[in-house]
């Protein structure tokens, strides 16, 4: 790989920094329920999540990475300053949210930051309709599909297990939840794990280090390792919010939420649809909580999380726009 200029190195480091905070604030969602139900210790859960995230990114194709790298803004109309501005936006927004233990969507930060930065660099024509259509579909998937699937699955499990003892249900699903948590971590890698790989590859193309957009295996391994490091370093804040503060979870609830969320994510990955894993597992947890009774969900905490999701798009688009102008003014 040639043409590793100082500017390109700085931008690549910014992508790695964004992937690190993704590990802080987004990747922990994949293991929040298995930790909160005490089926796995945080250490074992992080190790499992890191490995299966990388595996999910390696063997499920690169459709989502391509959507991020080539489908949100026109690569030929932007330069490295656009990628840099988007990554600075993600690091800033995610770090603030992590400080208060609020789970954020790096997916929406990434596409909004790229869009805002691209608009500052090249105007409205830089946006690509096909990629944005997938983003909107992903928004629907993550907002509604996770809730509906988990509510339906949990309702079915209640009926099937209506005569089983509480201890036997806990023992059975304590084992099954390890499988569902692994499934969730794998699906997270298939979608969320690919997004910053796409940004990294886009930077390599814009910087002249690669002639065409591809996702080399070393990029997958590097980004996956950095994300796992972020989760190990500080993912507990988000695990505590998602696993303990939305609703009380037993292993059977964790199994239903993880299985439903993972299924929705894998379906989106199959069609190259970038969606928010935070939204998906969050609404899945709300869905299983609502099957007990509506008041079983702590809607005050849920409202705080959802409010953050809503303001992420406009705030990160604005930050991306401003940071691009600043970078171009300074350099």
How far is residue 290's CA from residue 268's CA, in Å, rounded to a whole number?
Answer: 24
The radius of gyration computed from the CA coordinates of the chain, to the nearest angstrom, equals: 19
Q: What is the pLDDT of residues 297-311, one digit of tens each?
A: 777 766 777 787 788
Mean pLDDT of 8-12: 96
Range of the domain at 19: 6-330
What's the pLDDT tens digit per position in 67-109? 999 999 999 999 999 999 999 999 999 888 878 777 778 888 9
Query: Does 285 reside within a domain?
Result: yes
Model pLDDT for residues 157-166, shown as the tens digit of each residue: 999 998 888 8
- Structure token pair of residue 326: 């600043």
pTM equals: 0.88
CB 34 within 8 A of CB 236: no
User: Does 113 reside within a domain?
Assistant: yes
Q: 3-state DSSP call for residue 162?
A: coil
Lookup: tokens for 101: 């233990």
For residues 282 and 104, is the Cβ–Cβ distance under 8 A?
no
Average pLDDT, the chain: 86
At residue 230, the pLDDT reads 79
Distance CA 138, CA 134 (A): 6
Residue with tokens 């280090």: 209
Q: Is residue 64 in some structural domain?
A: yes
CA 319 to each of CA 9, 86, 113, 299, 305: distance values in angstroms, whole numbers, following the listed order: 22, 8, 7, 29, 20
Does residue 1 lie in a domain region? Answer: no
Residue 293 is assigned to a structural domain of this protein: yes
Q: In the structure encoding, which two tokens stand for residue 99, read together? A: 């400080």
Whats the size of the chain, residue-wise?
A: 331
3-state secondary structure at position 264: helix
How many CB atoms neighbour CB 152 within 10 A?
A: 14
Question: What are 73's strand-pairing partners?
Answer: 127
Predicted local confidence at residue 50, as pLDDT: 76
Classify residue 294: in a domain, yes or no.
yes
Confidence (pLDDT) at 181: 87
Q: Is residue 314 part of a domain?
A: yes
Distance between CA atoms of 222 and 204, rounded to whole angstroms?
14
Within a domain: 297: yes
- When divided into structural domains, the chain yields a total of 1
pLDDT digits (tens, 9 = 90+) for 255-272: 999 899 999 999 888 888
């Amino acid at each position: 790989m040639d043409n590793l200029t100082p500017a390109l190195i700085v931008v690549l480091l910014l992508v790695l920094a964004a992937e690190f905070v993704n590990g802080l604030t987004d990747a922990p969602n994949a293991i929040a329920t298995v930790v909160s139900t005490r089926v796995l210790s945080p250490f074992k859960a992080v190790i499992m999540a890191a490995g299966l995230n990388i595996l999910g990114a390696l063997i499920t194709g690169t459709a989502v990475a391509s959507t991020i790298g080539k489908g949100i803004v026109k690569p030929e109309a932007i330069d490295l300053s656009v990628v840099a501005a988007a990554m600075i936006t993600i690091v800033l927004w995610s770090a603030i949210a992590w400080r208060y233990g609020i789970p954020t969507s790096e997916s929406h930060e990434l596409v909004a930051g790229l869009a805002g930065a691209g608009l500052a660099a090249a105007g409205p024509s830089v946006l690509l309709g096909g990629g944005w259509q997938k983003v909107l579909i992903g928004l629907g998937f993550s907002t509604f599909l996770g809730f509906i699937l988990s509510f339906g699955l949990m309702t079915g499990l209640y009926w099937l297990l209506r005569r089983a003892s509480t201890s036997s249900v806990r023992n059975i699903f304590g084992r099954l939840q390890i499988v569902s948590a692994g499934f969730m971590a794998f699906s997270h890698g298939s979608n969320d794990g690919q997004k910053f790989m796409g940004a990294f590859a886009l930077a390599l193309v814009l910087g002249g280090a690669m002639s065409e957009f591809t996702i080399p295996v070393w990029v997958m391994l590097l980004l996956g390792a950095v994300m796992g490091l972020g989760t190990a370093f500080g993912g507990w804040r988000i695990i505590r919010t998602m696993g303990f503060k939305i609703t009380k979870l037993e292993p059977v609830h964790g199994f239903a939420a993880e299985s439903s969320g993972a299924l929705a994510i894998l379906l989106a990955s199959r069609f190259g649809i970038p969606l928010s894993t935070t939204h998906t597992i969050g609404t899945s947890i709300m869905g299983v909580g609502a099957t007990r009774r509506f008041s079983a969900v702590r809607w005050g905490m849920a409202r705080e999380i959802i409010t953050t999701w809503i303001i992420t798009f406009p705030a990160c688009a604005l930050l991306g726009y401003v940071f691009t102008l600043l970078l171009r003014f300074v350099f």
